[in-house]
Chains A and B, each alone.
Chain A
Amino acid sequence: MKFRVLPFVWLTFSGGGVVAAVFLPVLVVLLAFALPLGWVDPSHAHLEGLVQSWFTRIALFALIVPMLVHAAHRFRYTVYDGLQVKHKVLVALACYGGAMVLAMAAFLVLTTV
């Protein structure tokens, strides 16, 4: 069987789609609305304990990477079909490259905090 990278990208895209659909809404409601607007008020010490646990950090990284691949893959085809930008290679490099840069940033943030 021929080796092709696209099946693996698509598998990660799908995994990221599931993660974004299942995990992200509650996180957004909490972090973007409930906490800043004071609907809930967990102490800073509690949240600090949470983000400093290795479990949280590994889990976050495992959720974030497929979501980035998901976004990059989807946006790539949106740019290509929706906006008809025909520089296929350039668009792919920008999208997946951007995802890779963000994944490295995530790694740095999650290992240094």
Chain B
Amino acid sequence: MDDSIAMQVTRYRPDKNSQPVPVDYEVPLRTEWTVLDGLNHIKAEQDETLSFRWSCRMGICGSCGMNVNGEPRLTCATFLSDYAPGPVRVEPLANFPVVKDLIVDITDFMEKLPRVKPWIIRDDDVTEIDGEYIQTPEELEAYQQFSMCINCMLCYAACPVYGLDPDFVGPAAIALAERYDLDSRDRGSRERLDVLIEKEGVWGCTFVGECTSVCPKHVDPAGAIQRYKLKAAQESVKAFLLPKALRR
């Protein structure tokens, strides 16, 4: 193995560049080093002005997502050695506006997420004083997969529909809506359906499936969206085609 690897990092300094430009760096190549370690090495040893987000370095916080060789990845979980002999191309997460270097503006996602009401909605006044909500292992299993989302937004970067149609509410938000819909404690399905049945909701999705491929937590947003379409269609048929007596 070589003892160093080339990293081509996209830089964007609003005061200096009119558009993002690739800049080449050389970093030590060690088996245990991730792309994030490479970036930290650049910042510590070569150019302290390089800006990027990171926090936990263990795939939990979801803040170090970037496009590595064109593929949205958590840089703390992507090893430099997998790209040897290099170069490793590091770009800001696709489909989001770039603020500086590898930092993207996530305002759009932050505005979309609460639209699907990703929290438990109750129609009664039960409080914690009345005791816990009991949930069986089966009831937990029903939504558990969708609850693993860490809001890293890799799925938004992988989704061509979101890139081309910024109105689309997007993969993670819909997967989270599904997570609460499937929760036995929740009563908010109808409220979320009213949001997601709009054309900016689930219908923009054309099942490219890339959101699921890139998800580091195996949440399967693509599956969630298709299931949501089916649910929306079933509810519509029930509400508008079936005679009243047959509706549930």
Residue positions of A touching B, CB distance < 8 A: 1-4, 6-8, 10-11, 14, 74, 77-78, 80-81, 84
Majority secondary structure, A binding face: helix
Chain A residues, Cβ within 8 Å of B232? 7, 10
Q: List 28 A-B contacts (CB under 8 A).
A: A1-B194, A1-B236, A1-B239, A3-B239, A3-B240, A4-B197, A4-B198, A6-B197, A6-B199, A6-B203, A7-B229, A7-B232, A7-B235, A8-B233, A8-B236, A8-B237, A10-B203, A10-B232, A11-B233, A11-B237, A14-B233, A74-B206, A80-B164, A80-B165, A81-B160, A81-B165, A81-B206, A84-B164
Asked whether, in the complex, the Cβ of B197 is within 8 Å of the Cβ of A2, the reply is: yes
- B161 close to A (CB within 8 Å): yes
Chain A residue with Cβ nearest B241? A8
Report the separation of the CA atoms of residues A42 and B239 in the bound assembly, to the nearest whole angstrom. Answer: 48
**What 8 A-B pairs come out closest when comparing CB atoms?**
A7-B236, A7-B233, A11-B233, A1-B239, A77-B206, A6-B203, A7-B232, A81-B164
**What's the minimum C-beta distance from A60 to chain B, rounded to whole angstroms?**
24
Report the separation of the CA atoms of residues A11 and B226 in the bound assembly, to the nearest whole angstrom. Answer: 11
Asked whether, in the complex, the Cβ of B164 is within 8 Å of the Cβ of A7, the reply is: no
Chain A residue with Cβ nearest B231? A7
**What's the minimum C-beta distance from A25 to chain B, rounded to whole angstroms?**
21
- B190 close to A (CB within 8 Å): yes
Chain B residues, Cβ within 8 Å of A2? 194, 197
Chain A residues, Cβ within 8 Å of B197? 2, 4, 6-7
Report the separation of the CA atoms of residues A80 and B160 in the bound assembly, to the nearest whole angstrom. Answer: 11
Chain A residues, Cβ within 8 Å of B165? 80-81
Report the separation of the CA atoms of residues A106 and B206 in the bound assembly, to the nearest whole angstrom. Answer: 28
Given contacts A1-B235, A1-B239, A4-B236, contact A81 B161 (CB under 8 A): yes
Chain A residues, Cβ within 8 Å of B239? 1, 3
8 A Cβ contacts from B227-248 to A: 229, 232-233, 235-237, 239-240
Chain B residues, Cβ within 8 Å of A78? 206
**What's the minimum C-beta distance from B243 to chain A, rounded to whole angstroms?**
16
Chain A residues, Cβ within 8 Å of B164? 80-81, 84
**What's the minimum C-beta distance from B164 to chain A, rounded to whole angstroms?**
5
Chain A residues, Cβ within 8 Å of B233? 7-8, 10-11, 14
Given contacts A1-B190, A3-B236, 10 further A-B contacts (CB under 8 A): A2-B197, A6-B199, A7-B232, A8-B233, A8-B236, A78-B206, A80-B165, A81-B161, A81-B164, A84-B164
Chain B residue with Cβ nearest A4? B197
Report the separation of the CA atoms of residues A77 and B233 in the bound assembly, to the nearest whole angstrom. Answer: 19
Report the separation of the CA atoms of residues A8 and B233 in the bound assembly, to the nearest whole angstrom. Answer: 6
Chain B residues, Cβ within 8 Å of A74? 206
